[in-house]
Amino acid sequence: MRHEYCLHCDAETVEPVTESGRVRRRCATCGQTADRSLVVDTALRMWHETAGVFVRDPSGRFLFFNRIAFPYALTIPAGHVEHGESPEVSAVRELHEETGLRAVSLTPIATEPIDGDQCRRGADGHVWHTFLTTVGTEPPVALDEGEGDAYTWLTLAEAAERDLTFAARHLVDRHAARLMA
């Protein structure tokens, strides 16, 4: 199934038109013409870009929280990289938005595609930019009520025994040694 939306008014009334030998898109709703449109096609796989932060305490435990929006499971603070943001800026923003914590410094762990990491916005995979930050003590966590309903501090071995999101499981399994270094 394919849907095509106007970039100016979001209407699904876009048709191809040829102007000066070029195929453009004209919206029947607002009358605007553009070189492109937003196309959502279920036959194509869609990818997003995500920045996530593992928060480690002095005893080697990591902050996880239970997601209340799809995908439902324990995860790390993470979110989509917004247009014009660097992955580092996104990671700091998402950490603060989701937990109330502020990263003093970030250590890059990995940048990699994770195929099969689905999100509520329809993506089938994400390019993950994963970072590590450390805290001196167990800080007070203030979860965003739209993101999670409970948080916990776990060792990576304990986390591996829990129900983790697809991406969190992949990252724990693949990068445990770097996260503990």
Mean pLDDT of the chain: 95
- Per-residue pLDDT, averaged over 92-120, amounts to 96
At residue 138, the pLDDT reads: 81
pLDDT grade for 158, boundaries at 50, 70 and 90: very high
For the cut 90, the answer to whether the pLDDT of residue 106 exceeds it is yes
For the cut 90, the answer to whether the pLDDT of residue 49 exceeds it is yes
Q: Give the tokens for residue 166.
A: 């697809």
- Listed in sequence order, the DSSP H helices in 2-121 are 87-99
At residue 127, the pLDDT reads: 98
- The residues near 101 (Cβ < 8 Å, ≥ 6 apart) are 55, 63, 77, 95, 135, 139, 141
For the cut 90, the answer to whether the pLDDT of residue 46 exceeds it is no
User: Do the Cβ atoms of 91 and 51 come closer than 8 Å?
Assistant: yes
pLDDT grade for 155, boundaries at 50, 70 and 90: very high
Q: Which residue has the tokens 């580092």?
A: 88
pLDDT grade for 114, boundaries at 50, 70 and 90: very high
At residue 1, the pLDDT reads: 87
pLDDT grade for 121, boundaries at 50, 70 and 90: confident
pTM score of the predicted model: 0.83
Domains assigned to the chain: 2-41 (no CATH), 47-180 (3.90.79.10)
